Amino acid sequence: MSERPTRSRPSPFWTTSKAAAAALVAIAVAGAASQTAWRLARDPLRPALWIGLYRAAAKAEPAEVAFVRAFELGAPIRSPLLEAEGDQEWEIALDGRVVAKGSGPGALRFDLPGLAKGRHEVAAFVTHPAGLASIRLRLGDRSGKGTGVVTGRGWMADDDASRIRDRGLEEARYRAMVWGRPPLSSWSASSVTRSLSWNGGSSIDVESSRIPSRAEAQ
């Protein structure tokens, strides 16, 4: 008569250890989520993102980079509020007129004259001694109602800032890149080159990110 094999049962210590480990993982995940939510709640410019130009950062040389985007207002903004920070020296133009200037990270606020319904263009010009020129801004109604514009995907850029300063969006040749978290000045250009390999689905390759100007396309 054959004997049935007996199954070994896990020791109470092992079971308790696994439960404790699972509890610690759950606590860590919950803590990280709450910390992220806390940071977002305290972020004065959310949902605006830091943007830069990979091409300029990779050279690690002094640069002035221009960023530009057009936006359409379905209704007037009676009390526009511009909030911005940059790395490092920066100025912002709205419809070709400089409306704000600043230096370094740390959000600044600017009350602007009313904006009419229709198309507008906002541009930022940023200088940096090591090419990491970056900007983050939000433009909307002081009341928080209505739609304005924030930095993020969809912005254009150029490391020849005079093209955008003189002729606007149609002369911008590259897509702006969404950076990581600030401050950016602590990053070296080599670390940027190694670690930034994806841009929310957009290539950061210099040539594939390049968009010909209207003059070049003709």
User: Is 189 exposed, middle or buried (CB count within 10 Å of its CB: 0-12, 13-18, 19+)?
Assistant: middle
Q: Whose CA is closest to 44, among 95, 105, 123? A: 105
Q: Residue 89 above 80 pLDDT?
A: yes
Task: Dig out the tokens for 120 from the structure.
Answer: 């507008």
Between residues 212 and 108, the one the model is more confident about? 108
Which of 2-16, 65-79, 199-213 bottoms out in mean pLDDT, i.e. has the lowest?
199-213
Residue 171 lies in a domain: yes
Instruction: Indicate if the pLDDT at residue 60 is higher than 60.
Output: yes
Predicted confidence at residue 108, as pLDDT, reads: 95
Give the angle 35-49-142 at the CA atoms, nearest 5°. 95
Whether the per-residue pLDDT at 106 is higher than 50: the answer is: yes
Q: What's the pTM value of the predicted model, to 2 decimals?
A: 0.68
61 and 166 fall within a common domain: yes
Residue 152 pLDDT exceeds 60: yes
**Secondary structure (DSSP) of 42-87:** H-TTTT---EE-HHHHHHTS-EEEEEEEEEEESS-BSSEEEEEEEE
Provide the domain limits for residue 25.
Answer: 11-42
CB contact burial 44-81 (16+ within 10 A = b; e otherwise):
ebeebbbbbbbbbbbebeebbbbbbbeeebeeebeebb
184 and 96 housed in the same domain? yes
Task: Mark whether 121 and 21 lie in a shared domain.
Answer: no
Phi, psi of 48, rounded to the nearest 5 degrees: -65, 140
pLDDT per residue as tens digits for the range 117-143: 999 999 999 999 999 999 999 999 998
Based on the structure, what is the number of domains in the chain? 2
Whole-number mean pLDDT of the chain?
Answer: 74
Q: Residue 82 pLDDT more than 50?
A: yes
Kindly report, residue by residue over 29-54, the tens digit of the pLDDT.
Answer: 343 343 334 344 567 788 899 999 99
% of the chain beyond a pLDDT of 90: 54
> Both 20 and 115 in a single domain?
no
Residues 83, 19 share a domain? no
Report the pLDDT averaged over residues 190-198. 40
Q: Are residues 134 and 190 in the same domain?
A: yes
Q: For the residues of 141-154, what is the DSSP string, one character each?
A: ETTS-S--EESSTT
The top-scoring range by mean pLDDT among 11-25, 65-79, 145-159, 169-183 is 65-79
**Residue 19 sits in the same domain as residue 104:** no
pLDDT of residue 16: 54
Contact 190, 60 (CB under 8 A): yes
